[in-house]
Amino acid sequence: MCTAELNSRVCAGFVLVAACLLFSTLFPGKASAEFRSGNWTGDSYQDESGRFRDCTMTTSYRSGTTMGFVISRDYNWGLVLLNETWKLREGSSQDIAIKVDTRYRFDAVAKAVSVDGIVIPLSSDGSMVDALRDGRVLTVVSSSGNVTFELAGTSQAIKDLAICVRQELDREASSGSGNDPFLGLQAKAEPEDDAQAQPQPADEADDGDYKLFSESEAVVFASNLLADAGITSYTILDPSENPMEGFDVVWTYKSGIIGALAGYKNMGDVDLDKAAAQVMADDGASCKSDFASGKKGSDKIGDVLVRRLFTACRSGDDPMEIHYTLFKTPGGQILQIAHISLGPAPEGSEEDTLAHADDAFLNTAVISELEQK
């Protein structure tokens, strides 16, 4: 079954609601540019007004079942399963579990959106994204029995599906249509001086000028970036519990180190060295005790400019040390990754671990991801 037919039959008239996940697909939609990734076929879809709605990809199995993944313009996503032999009660719901290989299990709710199709809203939790990208076998466990699917080529396909969404939002932004908070706003006029051009925390900047990510977009992007960096042992914090003001998404490692990401757009005229100096100056101004800072290195990897630095505030029993990596993409965006240690470092090598926590984000896969932004 082709992607267009899946989207027409399943996406016509269903609404998914699960823990901040909402796909509003009230009309079948119009297909745009088809793409292929391994065994998967994908397409982007528009609503009746011509506004980009979602990207969907599918693959079919010998059992007669078609599996599909859908990512909306807001980077919410879900899993779709169709089989013409199924006799489901439309509108019914069932608690299920999704198992990936033998290592991961996620509780979910499957909703019958037709007599032969179900939709499963998926969490944007980093562990689920990583499991589906790196897994080999997916099993849907329900009271009706288990259904198993091979996940051949899923890692690249999910990445290509996210790229599809980004490209559609880029196209929408360049045409001046839509009001998407990620890429659909007009660029800011050239700033009057360098001070105005520095990256600002999202709560201080005009969101329409600087903020690159919404909350859900930041979670998905960070999950993809962590996967590209080869990092699997982490927990992304709920956006409502974000403890790091000015960062779009925050995660923790088992070591206790905190990671954080902030993204800024319309930064084409910003000098990255001046941006790095501004970061150190801001941290210094907020430190009420002994302050130290320094540059760890500057480089250009591929088409991405990179600056690395650190700051440390030695405030009695409440010290803080932060190691930053700033990336400037060919598209004029700046991404700031920070790794933070709060409190005195325990015995062992955590201080050294903190200093090198961002090394994994300098590999080829991460840089390739940023070169596309």
In the numeric block, the tokens 């007669």 are attached to 64
Average pLDDT, the chain: 75
Domain boundary among 145, 174, 203: 174
Q: What's the residue count for the chain?
A: 373
- In the chain, which residue ranges form alpha helices assigned H by DSSP? 3-10, 126-134, 154-174, 194-197, 207-210, 215-228, 272-286, 350-355, 364-371
Do residues 223 and 316 both lie within one domain? yes
Domain count, the chain: 2
- Whether residue 278 lies inside any domain: the answer is yes
pLDDT for res 6: 44
Do residues 142 and 289 both lie within one domain? no
- Whether residue 180 lies inside any domain: the answer is no
Do residues 121 and 261 both lie within one domain? no
Distance, in Å, from the CA atom of 6 to the CA atom of 197, rounded to the nearest integer, reads 46
Mean pLDDT for 39-43 is 86
- Whether residue 189 lies inside any domain: the answer is no
- Whether residue 285 lies inside any domain: the answer is yes
Do residues 268 and 356 both lie within one domain? yes
- Whether residue 194 lies inside any domain: the answer is no
pLDDT for res 204: 38
pLDDT at 213 > cutoff 80: yes
Do residues 302 and 166 both lie within one domain? no
In the numeric block, the tokens 């509003």 are attached to 24
pLDDT for res 26: 24
**Domain residue limits at 302:** 215-372
Q: What is the CATH number of the domain that holds 262?
A: 3.40.1000
pLDDT digits (tens, 9 = 90+) for 180-203: 322 222 222 233 343 333 444 333
pLDDT for res 324: 93
- Whether residue 18 lies inside any domain: the answer is no
pLDDT for res 51: 84
pLDDT for res 18: 26
pLDDT digits (tens, 9 = 90+) for 121-131: 887 666 777 78
Do residues 221 and 284 both lie within one domain? yes
Query: What percentage of the chain has pLDDT greater than the value 90?
Result: 10
Q: What is the CATH number of the domain that holds 119?
A: 2.60.40.1880
| Model pTM above 0.75 | no
pLDDT at 179 > cutoff 80: no
Do residues 368 and 223 both lie within one domain? yes
Question: How sure is the predictor about 173, in pLDDT bands with cuts at 50, 70 and 90?
Answer: confident
CB 313 within 8 A of CB 289: yes
Question: How sure is the predictor about 29, in pLDDT bands with cuts at 50, 70 and 90?
Answer: very low
pLDDT for res 33: 53
Question: How sure is the predictor about 344, in pLDDT bands with cuts at 50, 70 and 90?
Answer: low
Mean pLDDT for 6-31 is 33
Do residues 235 and 163 both lie within one domain? no
